[in-house]
Amino acid sequence: MILSTLCYIEKDGRYLMLHRTKKKNDINKDKWLGIGGKFEKGESPEECLVREVKEETGLTLKSYQLRGIVTYVSNQWETEYMYVFTATEFEGKMIECDEGDLEWVEKEKIYTLPTWEGDYIFIEKLQKNNGFFSIKFEYVGHKLMRYNLKEYEL
């Protein structure tokens, strides 16, 4: 089982996205994703989030919010539990990422970029409401077969 974080950092109506093009043997090859990665031993979701954002972007998060939990089940890869955050306050200077290219992407344009099918579903939830969600995706290879979404009012 994999534990990970994912963050959509927002500025001026755009999200900071990572186009995964550089990492070898990457299941996310050529996909556009938010910023994040896997937990290290003993880390909380927040500690993982802050570390991964700093490592991949050079930015230090000042404020962030847990928005949901995503469960990925696949016939090819380990089950992954992902904590999804949004952030609007940060500082620092962006660096080059060794996993791909960082780009500020207009929120509406994200739906035209190649990513996991399920990502479009929870990105829409991030953009349209302030509630908390839990969603389970079931994939066969890169094809989304079904999902189950539960939304919570805050």
CA–CA gap between residue 84 and residue 21 (Å, rounded): 22
User: Phi and psi dihedrals of 40, rounded to 5?
Assistant: -100, 160
Q: Domains in the chain, please, with CATH?
A: 2-152 (3.90.79.10)
Tens place of pLDDT for every residue, the chain, 154 residues? 999 999 999 999 999 999 998 877 778 888 999 999 999 999 999 999 999 999 999 999 999 999 999 999 999 999 999 999 999 999 999 999 988 999 999 999 999 999 999 999 999 999 987 789 999 999 998 899 999 999 998 7
